[in-house]
């Protein structure tokens, strides 16, 4: 079993949103990230991502398994996923509110679901 497979199919919830998933995966890779406090709804979570992204991670050109990837959704709201490289292809592991689950999506297909790549990031060690 690959590291990312255990997450696929988990139920999306206010406690298991896209930021919570990314932080749990970061912990698996040795990063102890403090989840910012925000109200349990998708808008507050998107705002928290926007406010705290520079405190939690640094933008990079290097793609690496387990690192966060940020997206814009409808050009306004942030969404976070986790980078996964499978068979020479870029994938994003993310908790998707619309589907109700943690899913794995090809990076090249994220735009079809309304997500525009904002950038690749490296967690900061807290």
- For 37, counting Cβ atoms within 10 Å of its Cβ (0-12 exposed, 13-18 middle, 19+ buried), the class is exposed
The answer to whether residues 21 and 101 touch, using CB atoms and an 8 Å cutoff, is no
The domain locations on the chain are 18-123
pLDDT at position 109, please? 97
Residue 102 CB neighbours (<10 A): 22
Task: Output the six-digit token pair for 116.
Answer: 């525009």
For 18-123, CATH number out of 3.40.1440, 1.10.3470, 2.30.260, 2.40.50 equals: 2.30.260
Per-residue pLDDT of the chain (126 residues; tens, 9 = 90+): 999 999 999 999 878 888 899 999 999 999 988 777 776 666 777 777 777 788 889 999 999 999 999 998 876 678 899 999 999 999 999 999 889 999 999 999 999 989 999 999 999 876
pLDDT at position 39, please? 66
């Amino acid at each position: 079993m690959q590291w990312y497979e255990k997450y696929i199919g988990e139920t999306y919830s206010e406690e298991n949103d896209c930021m919570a998933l990314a932080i749990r995966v970061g912990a698996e890779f040795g990063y102890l990230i403090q989840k910012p406090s925000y109200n349990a709804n998708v808008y507050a979570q998107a705002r928290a991502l926007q406010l705290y992204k520079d405190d939690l991670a640094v933008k990079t050109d290097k793609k690496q398994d387990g690192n966060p990837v940020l997206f814009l959704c409808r050009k306004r709201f942030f969404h976070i996923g986790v980078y996964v490289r499978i068979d020479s292809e870029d994938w994003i592991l993310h908790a998707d509110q619309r589907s109700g689950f943690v899913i794995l999506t090809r990076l090249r297909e994220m735009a079809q679901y309304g997500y525009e790549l904002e950038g690749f990031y490296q967690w900061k060690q807290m």
